[in-house]
Amino acid sequence: MRPGGQPNMQQLMKQAQKMQQQLAVAQAELAQTEIEGSAGGGLVSATVTGSGELLRVTIDPKVIDPDDVDTLQDLVVAAVRDANSNAQQLASEKLGPLTGGMGGLGIPGL
């Protein structure tokens, strides 16, 4: 800090740029990461990217009952929600320290 308690703006900007680069790298890594969620004891699973894009749904044939489509639909929804929840948790772990640091600088939108 400079005399009078004013931070060095050039140093703050360099720090913000560095953190922004780290955040971009972490976001790119997340977009490439595949996360799985499941329901029904693993009978239905869903795979999403770290950014939340649904890649695939896998359904064990044992679950397929033409007379009970509602249960299968519920299991698919539960598996996708589980996968998204796991992706959000991973994103929070990877991005939390970076985004928390940006907010600490008081830079809006970062």
- Tokens found for residue 35: 């996360």
Q: Distance between CA 79 and CA 69 in Å, rounded?
A: 15
CATH of the domain at 52: 3.30.1310.10
In a domain, 70, yes or no: yes
For residue 110, being part of any structural domain is answered with no
In a domain, 3, yes or no: no
Is residue 62 in some structural domain? yes
Number of domains forming the structure of the chain:
1
Whether residue 108 is contained in a domain is answered as no
Report the share of the chain in percent with pLDDT over 70. 82
| pLDDT tens, N- to C-terminus, the chain (110 residues) | 455 666 788 888 888 888 888 888 888 888 889 999 999 999 999 999 988 899 999 999 999 999 999 999 999 999 999 999 999 998 888 877 766 644 444 444 44
Q: Quick one: pLDDT at residue 6?
A: 67
pLDDT at 5: 63
pLDDT score recorded for residue 106: 47
- Phi, psi (rounded to 5 degrees) for 108: -65, 140
- With respect to residue 46, please indicate whether it lies within any of the assigned structural domains: yes
Three-state DSSP class for residue 18: helix
Question: In angstroms, rounded to a whole number, what is the distance separating the alpha carbons of residues 86 and 99?
Answer: 19
Q: Quick check: is 80 in a domain?
A: yes
Q: Domain range for residue 67?
A: 9-102
